[in-house]
Amino acid sequence: MNEDALHARLAAAVPGVGVLDSSVKDPFVVVEPGALVAALTFLRDDPACGMEMLHNVTAVERPEAMEVVYHVCSLSQHHSLTVKVRMPRPEGGTHDTWIPEVPSVAGVYASADWHEREQWDLLGVRFTGHPDLRRILLPPEWKGHPLRKDYVYPGEHGGIPLELDAVPLYERGSDEPPPEPHPPRPPGTPLVQPPAPFSSRPVAAGGRTAEPGAGGGEPH
């Protein structure tokens, strides 16, 4: 089934499923947070959908909202679908004050367990009902959620100074000329001298050769 058919089937069965947004390369469905568990359970259990695997869980912080993205796929039916939950940003919500909450789907797909822990760790999305929502990549005493756009690098952690500048690694003013492009290497010129073919590679003098009986001196 293509995304349109999958969406039609899902929307008919589960209330709270929004329209299919086909404006991007991979169309997605936006689902109400309250309908998320029902929607993913339907996608998994419905034989025509047959989404056996939750491939990926991600959160995306946008200026206006936090999106949690679920990529589900079916191995038997050869199709996949992107499901999103969108939580609008409250007035003046920063990474300190605004922790969006989404129901956990770890009970539907076991693979969501670690993915949700990672999104909590790095983006500060609380998955309610998660069996064990701890930090996964950062140390347990870490403060803040580094993938938030307004996150400020700490000056130190556990007494160790962290010398990270907050300047973006790649920035060029609009008045600066673009850098000279690297000329592509002409076809056929090797970057390094090609070594001898694999089967007849010489071995250090005095040692054994790759092919027994092909010469070589006495070992010391």
Partner 1 sequence: MEALELYTVDERDDLYTEELKLNLGPQHPSTHGVLRVELKMDGEIITASRCDIGYLHRCAEKIGENVSYLQFTPYTDRMDYLAACNNELAWSLAVEKLLGVEAPERAQWLRVIVCELNRIASHLIAFGTYGIDMGANTPFFYAFREREAVMALLERPSGARMLYNYVRPGGVAHDIDESWLSDVLAFCGEFEKRWAEYNQLLTTNRIFIGRTANVGVLPRDMALAWGCTGPVLRGSGVKWDLRRDVPYLWPYDEIEFDVPVGEGTHGTLGDCWDRYWVRMREMMESIRIIRQACARVPSGDFMDKAMVRMYKSPLKPGKGEVYMRCENPRGELGFYIVSDGGTSPLRCRARGPSFCNLSVLDALLPGCMIADGVAVIGSLDIVLGEVDR
62-64-66 Cα angle (round to 5)? 50
- The span of 8-16, 33-41, 93-101, 113-121 binding partner 1 (CB under 8 A) equals 113-121
Backbone dihedral angles phi then psi of residue 67, each to the nearest 5 degrees: -110, 135
* Interaction between residue 192 and partner 1 (CB under 8 A): yes
Q: Distance from first CA to last CA of the chain, Å, rounded?
A: 70
According to CB under 8 A, which residues from 52 to 91 bind partner 1? 52-56, 58, 60-62, 69, 71, 75, 78, 82
d(CA 51, CA 80): 7
| Residue whose CB is less far from partner 1, 97 or 174 | 174
Among 169, 215, 218, 219, binds partner 1 (CB under 8 A): 169
In the list 34, 114, 131, 214, the residue contacting partner 1 (rule: CB under 8 A) is: 114
Q: Are 100 and 66 in contact (CB under 8 A)?
A: yes
Q: Is 26 or 96 the residue whose CB approaches partner 1 more closely?
A: 26
Give 160 or 191: the residue with its C-beta nearer to partner 1.
191
Contacts of 190 (CB under 8 A, 6+ apart): none
Contact window for partner 1 (CB under 8 A) among 8-16, 94-102, 103-111, 154-162: 103-111
CB of 86 to partner 1, least distance (A): 13
Choose, by CB under 8 A, the member of 19, 25, 161, 212 that binds partner 1.
Answer: 25
List 17, 113, 120, 124, residue binding partner 1 (CB under 8 A): 113
Q: Residues, the chain, total?
A: 220
Residues that bind partner 1 (CB under 8 A): 24-26, 28, 52-56, 58, 60-62, 69, 71, 75, 78, 82, 109-111, 113-114, 118, 122, 135-139, 146-147, 168-170, 172, 178, 181, 184-192, 194-195, 197-199, 201
